[in-house]
Chains A and B, each alone.
Chain A
Amino acid sequence: MDFIVGGIVKAFHLLLAGDQETYSAVKATIYVSSLSMLASLVLGIPSGFALGYFSFPGKKALRMVVDTLMALPTVFIGLVVYALISSRGPLGSLGILFSLPGIALGQAILALPVVAALSAMSVESLDSRIRHTLMSFGVSRTRLFFTTIREVRFGLLIAALNAYGRVTTEVGISMMVGGNIKWHTRTITTAIALETGKGMFDTGIALGLILLMIAFAVNLSLSFLRKYE
């Protein structure tokens, strides 16, 4: 058990001593998660919102599909994305295998159903109350739309945070698509896998703690955003 204490000590040592390998992995993690979150939010929020806001034939079935996709295993996404962007795959010409954008593509696929399903859910749970209230004031259709977006913003924030949690903690996609290349595509999670493989449990725990710190920083800044909006 001493490697847990050792890990905590090591985490601070790595950060304070400015360990280059660690910072490279931190940078890679922040870069890919930002890129994948950007893509999944840009695509996921509007589609999730539409899914929850409008009613159309086949909506229930579509909701079920999206909800199911939330449970996509990361190694499976990694495999599919690899098959797509491998040199001999249909998107091979993009040449993004073993690159951070490649990982981001996979992570965006991972995050998209989470963002869409949770956005749809928050719009739906809001629907009955706010929609009814707004209509009882006799508002315009556009106003109803934008007010719904405004009212649903915390739900969307929670959707984003959930997706962010999945994206930063996944290892299957980063490993398969990124290849865990030192200085390039080694993220914190693949570094943990590697260090564990090498038997360096304390380094693995240290890296895990650093990932936790990043998540904490993101949550903290968002909660400030929520307080001062």
Chain B
Amino acid sequence: MKPMGILLNALCFMLFATTVFAGETLMMATTTSTDDTGLLNALAPVFAKDTGIELKWTATGTGKALKLGENCDVDVLLVHAPEVEKTFVGNGFGINRKEVMYNDFVIIGPASDTAKIKGKSVMTAFEKIRGAGASFASRGDKSGTHTIELDLWKKTGKPLPEKESWYIQTGQGMLQTIGMAAERKAYTLTDRGTYIKYESDHKGHPPLVILVEGDDVLKNQYSVIEVSGKHCPNVKSALAKSFSDWMVSARTQKLIGDFKLLGKPLFTPNAGK
């Protein structure tokens, strides 16, 4: 296959042509929420100025982000599914898991609130939704949000409503899922940042409103994990460590705390706490 060889050579040439001039870059896999909200767009230029390292990221579900780390395709991860992350580190794929910040989840639903969950605890709310057979939209995509939602169902002590007709698995991103929930007058679990965006898109009169918030179990912890150099000899361990250290530094923590979307703060920095 001579032509194939030539093609590959050509591709390699172009690759080098692009990377040689790009300087040092760090590849990160993260979740859609950090990208959609614009947090990374705000942080990356500051990071480049401080360290001279260019941060590139691919935004995906936590499940795929971790898989990319396991396959040594990225150097560092910024994700939010603590239990899965611990397994990831335990398997030797990642090191130095550091908690960086959190935001919180809320349960939203139609203002009519047919299952009467407003102001209740999460556990009660889930029980009531199940009891009333009210529609509930689930991400169903192994994202961080989905993982947490599954945890919450598990904590109610009853089997997952996987096959129930009122349980809608969208397999889509958070905003699409909220949109679908609105169309079906369903409840759903979302991170606050995405909801703020959704709310503003509807000029303050959203079809879905916050019904349950502030419960401790709704805390959404983000952590940064360096991909293990032992597992993946090709990763840029030093760069990953600089990023990880930079993220938990006092200055960056303040930046995160000051980051606002539509005038509302989104993330609470909690490194080292």
Q: Separation in Å of the B4 CB from the closest CB of chain A? A: 8
**CB-CB nearest in chain A for B72:** A87
Bound form: Cα–Cα A179–B58 in Å: 5
Given contacts A197-B36, A197-B175, contact A87 B12 (CB under 8 A): no
User: Which residues of chain B come closer than 8 Å to A99, judged between CB atoms?
Assistant: 15, 18-19
Binds B, one of A12-20, A89-97, A157-165: A89-97
CA distance A196 to B73 in the complex (A): 26
State how many angstroms separate the Cβ of B145 from the closest Cβ of chain A: 13
In the bound complex, residues from chain A placing their C-beta under 8 Å from that of B87 are none
- Give the total number of A-B pairs whose CB atoms are below 8 A apart: 77
> Does A105 interact with chain B (Cβ within 8 Å)?
yes
Smallest beta-carbon distance B56→chain A, Å: 5
Instruction: Check B27 against A98 for contact (C-beta < 8 Å).
Output: yes
Residues of A within 8 Å of B41, CB to CB, are 182
- B15:A199 contact, CB within 8 angstroms: no
- Looking across the interface, which residue of chain A has its beta carbon closest to that of B44? A182
Contacts of B7 in A (CB 8 A): 39, 42-43, 108
| Chain A, interface SS category | loop
Question: Given A35-B14, A108-B7, A196-B176, does the pair A87, B56 have CB atoms closer than 8 Å?
Answer: no
Q: Which of A96, A181, A197 is close to B58, meaning CB atoms less than 8 Å apart?
A: A181
Name 8 extra pairs, CB < 8 A, besides A88-B72, A96-B12, A199-B198. Answer: A35-B14, A91-B8, A99-B19, A101-B11, A104-B11, A197-B175, A198-B36, A198-B175
List residues of A (133-189) whose CB comes within 8 Å of B's CBs: 179-182, 184
Residues of B within 8 A of A (CB): 3-4, 7-8, 10-12, 14-15, 18-19, 27, 32, 36, 41, 56-60, 71-73, 172-173, 175-176, 179, 197-198, 201, 232, 234
CA distance A89 to B11 in the complex (A): 17
For B3, B11, B15, B59, the residue with the greatest tally of chain A CB atoms inside 10 Å of its CB is B11
Chain A residues contacting B14 (CB-CB under 8 Å) are 35, 100-101
| A199/B201 in contact, CB under 8 A | yes
Interface residue SS majority, chain B: helix
Q: Give residues of chain A (41-95) contacting chain B, Cβ–Cβ below 8 Å.
A: 42-43, 86-89, 91-92, 94-95
Q: Are B11 and A184 in contact (CB under 8 A)?
A: no
Interchain CB contact (< 8 A) of A94 among B15, B173, B175: B15
Contacts of A43 in B (CB 8 A): 3-4, 7
Query: Bound state CA distance, A49 and B7, in angstroms?
Result: 19
The smallest beta-carbon distance between B17 and chain A, in angstroms, is 9
Contact between chains at A86 and B73 (CB < 8 Å)? yes
The answer to whether B11 touches A197, judged by C-beta atoms less than 8 angstroms apart, is: no
Residues of the A chain whose Cβ atoms lie less than 8 Å from the Cβ of B15 = 94-96, 99, 101
B71 with A88: CB separation less than 8 A: yes
Verify B201–A105 contact, CB threshold 8 A.
no
